[in-house]
């Protein structure tokens, strides 16, 4: 059946579903007390047993439009103010196999920040993830998102999510939403959500513009931290290439807007601490041709930041951009 929105060309499939299709690559290094001294250097490895962080394994170019860096949120206890401003105390080097070093000398993470207007000065209960271009979704094609909790505090929360867009014929708004119960114990459970309005398939044709995620506590005391910041996800799309190489990606890397500070433990004297993620947006995208590499190294500048005792912290780097689709509006 030819749908009214595409009477001459049929329904977009494969890479025809958008002019730009999401792509990203995320990875981390775990820092413990034994490796937390000032001057310690770390190459950032790849996820999923890949030795290289970001290699273009596709047969078409990848465009990197953002680089983000952050450390995992923690619960503050009294006297742990040394955790503040981690991106001022951690330096980075970025290198392209085609163009050499982006910066040949160590620069603190905060020096890369270009998007100060995307840091929210307040409690951020939810996020929006906007696609680089509207994506066509046909009836019968059901996007899936697999969510992982990074912290056991999420055991007492619901997750609400929605896929938003518009009708291809009338341009009227469409929202497909739902709620997931408790996320589960950290690193032991994954919850998969289908955007199907509980009908086992997409309700209708639509153009998808963005996804939203928020967390809601079972009770009224759930403000110990920005809860979504402790959730990672993996998207599975029915059409088009994979958005990443099977990586589980923190929502911090995908959110349009990030917090200007992280919430601490409301029972302590320090209710928040300024430790915003860095968002670097180059003037023009970095282009990775097939086989190209884009790598990163990190260096700890201040040992007082990393007094971890028996704890550890993950230092994340996230490359975000798009793959070239073949959709062209008529």
| pLDDT at residue 108 greater than cutoff 90 | yes
| pLDDT at residue 221 greater than cutoff 90 | no
Q: Which of 120-124, 135-139, 278-282 has the highest mean pLDDT?
A: 278-282
* Residues 5, 205 contacting (CB under 8 angstroms): yes
| pLDDT tens digits along 277-310 | 999 999 999 999 999 999 999 999 877 665 666 6
Q: Please check whether residue 152 lies inside any domain of the structure.
A: yes
| pLDDT tens digits along 73-102 | 655 554 455 556 889 889 999 999 988 899
Can you give the pLDDT at residue 120?
86
> What percent of the chain has pLDDT above 90?
36
Q: Please check whether residue 4 lies inside any domain of the structure.
A: no
Q: Please check whether residue 9 lies inside any domain of the structure.
A: no
| pLDDT at residue 226 greater than cutoff 50 | yes
| pLDDT at residue 311 greater than cutoff 60 | yes
Domain of residue 70: give its range: 14-324
Q: Please check whether residue 189 lies inside any domain of the structure.
A: yes
Q: Please check whether residue 8 lies inside any domain of the structure.
A: no
Q: Please check whether residue 278 lies inside any domain of the structure.
A: yes
What pTM did the predictor assign?
Answer: 0.87
Q: Please check whether residue 5 lies inside any domain of the structure.
A: no
| pLDDT tens digits along 151-187 | 665 666 778 889 999 999 899 999 988 777 655 555 5
Average pLDDT over residues 234-260: 89
| pLDDT tens digits along 23-54 | 999 998 888 777 777 788 888 887 765 667 88
Q: Please check whether residue 57 lies inside any domain of the structure.
A: yes
Can you give the pLDDT at residue 9?
57
How many domains would you assign to the chain?
A: 1
């Amino acid at each position: 059946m030819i749908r009214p929105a595409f009477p001459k060309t049929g329904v977009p499939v494969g890479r025809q579903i958008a002019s730009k299709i999401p792509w990203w690559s995320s990875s981390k290094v775990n820092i413990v007390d034994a490796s937390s001294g000032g001057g310690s250097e770390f190459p950032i490895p790849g996820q999923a047993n890949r030795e290289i962080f970001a290699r273009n394994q596709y047969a078409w170019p990848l465009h990197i439009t953002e680089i983000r860096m952050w450390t995992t949120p923690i619960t503050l206890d009294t006297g742990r103010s040394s955790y503040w401003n981690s991106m001022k105390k951690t330096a980075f080097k970025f290198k392209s196999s085609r163009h050499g070093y982006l910066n040949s000398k160590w620069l603190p993470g905060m020096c890369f920040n270009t998007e100060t207007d995307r840091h929210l000065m307040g409690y951020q209960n939810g996020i929006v993830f906007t696609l680089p271009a509207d994506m066509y979704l046909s009836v019968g094609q059901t996007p899936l998102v697999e969510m992982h909790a990074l912290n056991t505090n999420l055991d007492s929360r619901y997750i609400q999510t929605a896929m938003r867009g518009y009708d291809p014929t009338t341009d009227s708004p469409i929202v497909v939403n739902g709620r997931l119960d408790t996320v589960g114990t950290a690193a032991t459970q994954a919850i998969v959500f289908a955007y199907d309005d509980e009908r086992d398939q997409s309700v209708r044709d639509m153009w998808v513009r963005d996804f939203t995620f928020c967390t809601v506590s079972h009770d009224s005391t759930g403000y110990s931290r920005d809860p979504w910041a402790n959730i990672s996800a993996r998207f599975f799309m029915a059409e088009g290439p994979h958005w990443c190489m099977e990586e589980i990606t923190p929502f911090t890397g995908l959110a349009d807007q990030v917090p200007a500070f992280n919430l601490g433990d409301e029972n302590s004297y320090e209710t928040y601490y300024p430790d915003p993620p860095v968002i670097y947006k180059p003037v023009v995208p970095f282009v990775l041709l097939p086989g190209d590499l884009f790598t990163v190294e990190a260096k700890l500048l201040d040992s007082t930041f990393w007094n971890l005792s028996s704890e550890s912290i993950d230092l994340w780097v996230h490359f975000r951009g798009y793959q070239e689709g073949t959709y062209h509006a008529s």
